[in-house]
Amino acid sequence: MSDLPDIVDSHCHLDFPDFAEELPQVINRAVDQGVTRMVTICTKLRNVAQVRAIAEAHDPVFWAAGTHPMSAADEPLATVEGLVALAEHPKFVGIGETGLDYHYTADSAEVQQVSLRMHIEAARQTGLPLIIHSRDADDDMARILTEEHAKGPFPCVMHCFTSSRALAETALGLGCYLSMSGITAFPRSSELRDIFAAAPLDRILVETDSPYLAPPPYRGKRNEPAYTLHTAKRAAETFDLSEAEFFAQTTENFDRLFWKAKAWKDAA
């Protein structure tokens, strides 16, 4: 029996140029650290073929696709029908990332909201988890999630959650999951860790969002899925759990939310 942990990087970007020179090595390093599965996220639908090919070529890698909110004004709008069609692929496990980002792109708030609602409907129709990016848009995000949930439930994860306690409570109240990135391991992120510590343990995931947001001791360097281990170890402390307990719980949470990835694993 292996002594490696069984952990999952629920959100990374393996198609980004940062990994172009050594993608197989990056994936192998992750597996060597006990990261048994990775979900690589397509943020622009014109890149679907490239992202899908990565998942097809590497057994531990799964994929999701959507239009990132910061690109919503520059890319053709996703359609519900198009997203539902992508979901027919056996390793396509999530809708997005989508969401709202008013930090740099507040001028496109209206089209971001239209795009978000389309992705929500695709998640509702497919039963696949909606992958949400939210930055400096807490009020609108809470409002839209609440309005849409009233039309019919949908599974959802707030990826790389760094927003307010109020948005966390709204999202959790609607059945959403919260995902911990390397930011939660930064020394000055105590308030953020407190928000996570107050959340139900069965609603927590871990991720890298690589190549961004590397946790200590790699902060400031290129992030990669292998570093999920460092974020997860620090997160175990947040919940006052042993590393093994936290790893097992977050993997169970991932399997529940990303059910197609679990089905693929079980069939292997």
Look at residue 234 and tell me if it is in a domain.
Answer: yes
User: pLDDT for 52-81, tens place per residue?
Assistant: 999 999 999 999 999 999 999 999 899 999
pLDDT tens digits along 255-268: 999 999 999 989 97
- Residue 201 within any structural domain of the chain: yes
Residue 3 has what pLDDT? 75
The residue range of the domain holding 83 is: 7-267
Mean pLDDT of the chain: 97
Residue 2 lies in a domain: no
User: Is residue 204 assigned to a domain?
Assistant: yes
Structural domains counted in the chain: 1
Q: What is the CATH number of the domain that holds 81?
A: 3.20.20.140
Q: What is the pLDDT of residues 185-229, one digit of tens each?
A: 999 999 999 999 999 999 999 999 999 999 999 999 999 999 999
User: Does some domain include residue 1?
Assistant: no
Flag whether 14 is in a domain: yes
Asked whether residue 122 is domain-assigned, the answer is yes
* Model pTM score: 0.97
Answer whether residue 154 shows pLDDT above 70.
yes
Residue 192, token pair as written in the block? 């953020």
pLDDT score of 1 more than 60? no
Query: Percentage of residues in the chain with pLDDT exceeding 70?
Result: 99
Q: Is residue 215 part of a domain?
A: yes
